Chains A and B, each alone.
Chain A
Amino acid sequence: MFYREAGDFKTSYAADNQTFPIAFDRYRYWVVLAIAFLVMPFIINDYWANALLIPFLIYAIAAIGLNILTGYCGQVSLGTGAFMAVGAYSCYKLMTAFPDVSILIHVVLAGGITAMVGAAFGLPSLRIKGFYLAVATLAAQFFLVWLFNKVPWFYNNSASGQISAPERFVFGVPVTGANTDAWAVYLVCLVFVTGSAIIARNMTRGSMGRKWMAIRDMDIAAEIIGVNPLRAKLSAFAVSSFFVGISGALFFSVYLGAVEVGEVFGINKSFLVLFMVIIGGLGSIFGSFAGAAFIVCLPVVLKLIGVDLFGWPPDLVAHFNLIIVGLLIMFFLIKEPHGLAQLWRVAKEKLRLWPFPH
């Protein structure tokens, strides 16, 4: 009975404009944050952190990034993996060039560098749309991966061609390298996720977000209302790449520790993040989280059920995972292009009237 807007009167436009207009949502938001920050670090263990929580948090940042570009601004991108690689390699170069600067600053700077690269690769969007733009970003995907393999400067001439993160500390606690604790890595990722989500939400609800959405829904009308298409599209590419770059930097530095670019940041990664956005919901920050959680959790859940419960061979379960994701992509594209977020919204609307639908 407490989950409804009835009786929750807004007396100012600012109050009407807040992120969670329903009081219950606001309280829940704070409760979730409190649990994530104050409870989880104490109960976390290595398995759950590495299998679920940390990849979920990092992919959520990437999904937020891609969602800004594809969900809010309507520009399809298949270059997410490459932009993550840009974030990872910038972070690596910064870490090795300036060992005394905090890793947190490096990660943010890596995001900034990726933003510039992303904006440059967004230039074709001024001329082409849809599938053709997707192909243009595909070119970015292959070109950047090739570049990071080809030019030894990017991996500091290491013999293996890999980049590996040196040990770095935040407040005296190691967060990269071999001797990290799960809770420290988790907290670093959590801080970045929270920051990214808040910034993304603020940008999408203000005039920037409206420009992006106007371009997405009808670019001609947007231009006639006074939106500069060049600036709107390039800013979407830049902001999107900023988040994707941060997620790439975190993926490399605190999660994997060592990266071979073709393997980790290949075209598969681009599709994986795109699937998260499609399943989670285009044009919704919550959807980015839902999609990331879904794609990260599915293999783990299937393994629990299939391998541990029924004793099926692991490769069969892995194939099941692919089949389910494929089917879901088709289902969502046909039935619900706005993904889990929209299903959640519809469920709320129906429940509000339940059991009298009219």
Chain B
Amino acid sequence: MNETATPQMQDQTLEDYTTADGRKIGGVMMDLKSITLRFGGLIAINDISFNIRQGEIRAIIGPNGAGKSSMLNVISGFYQPQEGEVWFMGKKRPTMRPYKVARQGIARTFQNIALFEGMTVLDNIMTGRLNFMKTGWVAQSIWLGSAKKEETINRQKVEEIIDFLEIQTIRKTPVGRLPYGLKKRVELARALAAEPNLLLLDEPMAGMNVEEKEDMSRFILDVNDEFGTTIALIEHDMGVVMDLSDRVVVMDYGKKIGDGTPDEVRNNQEVIEAYLGVSHD
């Protein structure tokens, strides 16, 4: 099955097109070429290539331990792959520290929420704006002119995001006191505050009930639609993945076993085997 399925899936047209719901999908934004990531003897990612196109919602799925989160960590610069190349915005990306990757316009959320618990919601989201705040320490220490102005301008942006995600009432609440679902939303807000070109979401709906999932799905679609942000997400809820995403990559044991539109992936024999299991007789 692999021999017939894979070439056909690789052969994706890269022309710009418009989706059924009117979103424009452009050329390749991020291209991952033959990425291999090892931890000692363990091969977490084995020779995986796929791309993410401008404006699309790209899902990465697979069973536990398939290497999905590692893949996201490679994209966000947290892991350096031993082999392979990461191309971003048409340029090959050299080895760089995560904070530099962030400055290139890649933001992310984490599977286990990684908010700054000791800070308020507002301060947490304001940290997302750090790359836009350039005032020197002298101006900051006397809080005059540029520091004050910059703070206000960035606050304005943050307030837009707060409105967008409907978290006005918890603005001044310390994050440690929030329930799980809201924390996830605040984390999304912090990532959005960075105005990313590419937004990576690691299981944005893990542990949520149906309503929270619906809310989060709506936010993800709105972000993509209104800000034109390209999104790559990892998710286990197949219903959500199939509804949200334009294209899906399927991983299993560090290998790519499928790549294509939700419909293509759903009917891929190897994907079905990975998810449902297959008898070996």
Contacts of B190 in A (CB 8 A): 225
CB of A199 within 8 Å of the partner chain? yes
Partner of A226, one of B103, B114, B119, B126: B103
CB of B116 within 8 Å of the partner chain? yes
CB of B133 within 8 Å of the partner chain? yes
Q: Given A213-B116, A217-B118, A224-B76, are A235 and B137 also a contact pair (CB < 8 Å)?
A: yes
Assess whether A220 is in contact with B99, with CB atoms less than 8 Å apart. no
Contacts of A208 in B (CB 8 A): 137, 140
Contacts of A202 in B (CB 8 A): 140-143, 147
Nearest opposing residue in chain B for A72, CB measure = B118
CB of B135 within 8 Å of the partner chain? yes
Assess whether A225 is in contact with B127, with CB atoms less than 8 Å apart. yes
B187 to chain A, nearest CB (A): 9
Which interface class (under 10, 10 to 19, 20 to 34, 35 or more) fits B? 35 or more
Partner of B130, one of A17, A205, A226: A226
CB of A221 within 8 Å of the partner chain? yes
Segment 94-131 of B: residues with Cβ below 8 Å from A: 97-99, 101-103, 107-108, 110, 114-119, 123, 126-131
Assess whether B127 is in contact with A210, with CB atoms less than 8 Å apart. yes
Assess whether B127 is in contact with A203, with CB atoms less than 8 Å apart. no
CB of A207 within 8 Å of the partner chain? yes
* Stretch of B7-15, B34-42, B150-158, B207-215 lying at the A interface: B150-158
Assess whether A210 is in contact with B123, with CB atoms less than 8 Å apart. yes
Partner of A221, one of B114, B126, B135, B147: B114
A207 to B143, CA, bound (A): 11
Q: Given A224-B108, A225-B102, are A207 and B116 also a contact pair (CB < 8 Å)?
A: no
CB of B148 within 8 Å of the partner chain? yes
Assess whether A207 is in contact with B99, with CB atoms less than 8 Å apart. no
Segment 15-47 of B: residues with Cβ below 8 Å from A: none
Assess whether A206 is in contact with B147, with CB atoms less than 8 Å apart. yes
Assess whether A224 is in contact with B135, with CB atoms less than 8 Å apart. no
B93 to chain A, nearest CB (A): 15
CB of B194 within 8 Å of the partner chain? yes
A142 to B9, CA, bound (A): 66
Assess whether B99 is in contact with A206, with CB atoms less than 8 Å apart. no
Segment 122-165 of A: residues with Cβ below 8 Å from B: none
Assess whether A224 is in contact with B78, with CB atoms less than 8 Å apart. yes
Assess whether A225 is in contact with B128, with CB atoms less than 8 Å apart. yes
Contacts of A199 in B (CB 8 A): 141-142
A65 to B152, CA, bound (A): 27
Assess whether A217 is in contact with B119, with CB atoms less than 8 Å apart. yes
Assess whether A13 is in contact with B118, with CB atoms less than 8 Å apart. no
Assess whether A213 is in contact with B147, with CB atoms less than 8 Å apart. no
Assess whether A210 is in contact with B119, with CB atoms less than 8 Å apart. yes
A64 to B148, CA, bound (A): 22
Contacts of B114 in A (CB 8 A): 218, 220-221, 224
CB of A189 within 8 Å of the partner chain? no
Assess whether B141 is in contact with A13, with CB atoms less than 8 Å apart. no
Partner of B140, one of A206, A216, A217: A206
CB of A45 within 8 Å of the partner chain? no
Q: Give the 9 A-B residue pairs with the shortest CB-CB distance, closest first.
A: A226-B102, A217-B116, A221-B114, A207-B133, A202-B143, A13-B155, A206-B140, A226-B131, A199-B141
| A to B CB contacts below 8 Å, 25 in the list | A14-B148, A14-B151, A199-B142, A202-B140, A202-B143, A203-B137, A206-B147, A207-B126, A207-B130, A207-B133, A208-B137, A210-B123, A211-B127, A214-B130, A218-B114, A218-B115, A218-B117, A224-B76, A224-B99, A224-B114, A225-B127, A226-B103, A226-B131, A227-B127, A235-B137
List 15 other contacts, CB 8 Å, given A207-B135, A225-B107: A13-B151, A13-B152, A13-B155, A199-B142, A203-B140, A210-B119, A211-B127, A216-B116, A217-B115, A217-B116, A217-B117, A221-B114, A222-B127, A224-B102, A228-B97
B interface residues with partner A (beta carbon < 8 Å)? 76, 78, 97-99, 101-103, 107-108, 110, 114-119, 123, 126-131, 133, 135, 137, 140-143, 147-148, 150-152, 155-156, 159, 190, 194
